[in-house]
Amino acid sequence: MNLLIVIYGIISIAIGIGPAIGMAIWLFGKTTANWGSWALGGIFWYLALLSRLPLLGLIASNPLLSQFYLILAPLFAGIFETAFRVLLIVLLPKYTANTKDKVIMAGLGWGTIEAIMLHSIQIAAILIFPSQFEEIIALLENMEWVILFGGYERLITQIFHLMVMILVFYGVKNNLRGIEPSEPLVKNFFTRDPNPKWIWASIAVIIHFLYDYIIILLLYTMGLIILYMFATVFVGLLTSYTTNRMKYYPLFLLEPTEKKKLKV
Tell me the three-class secondary structure of the chain, residue by residue. Answer: CCHHHHHHHHHHHHHHHHHHHHHHHHHHCCCHHHHHHHHHHHHHHHHHHHHHHHHHHHHHHCCCHHHHHHHHHHHHHHHHHHHHHHHHHHHCHHHHCCCHHHHHHHHHHHHHHHHHHHHHHHHHHHHHCHHHHHHHHHHCCCCHHHHHHHHHHHHHHHHHHHHHHHHHHHHHHHHCCCCCCCCCCCCCHHHCCCCCCCHHHHHHHHHHHHHHHHHHHHHHHCCHHHHHHHHHHHHHHHHHHHHHHHHHCCCCCCCHHHHHHHHC
Q: Domain count of the chain?
A: 1
The whole-model pTM stands at 0.90
Domain holding 89, by residue range, is 3-263
Each residue's pLDDT tens digit in the chain (264 positions)? 688 888 999 999 999 999 999 999 999 988 999 999 999 999 999 999 999 999 999 999 998 888 899 899 999 999 999 999 999 999 999 999 989 999 999 999 999 999 999 999 999 999 998 888 888 888 888 888 889 989 999 999 999 999 999 999 988 887 887 776 666 666 666 666 677 777 888 899 999 999 999 888 887 787 778 888 899 999 999 999 999 988 888 888 765 554 444 343
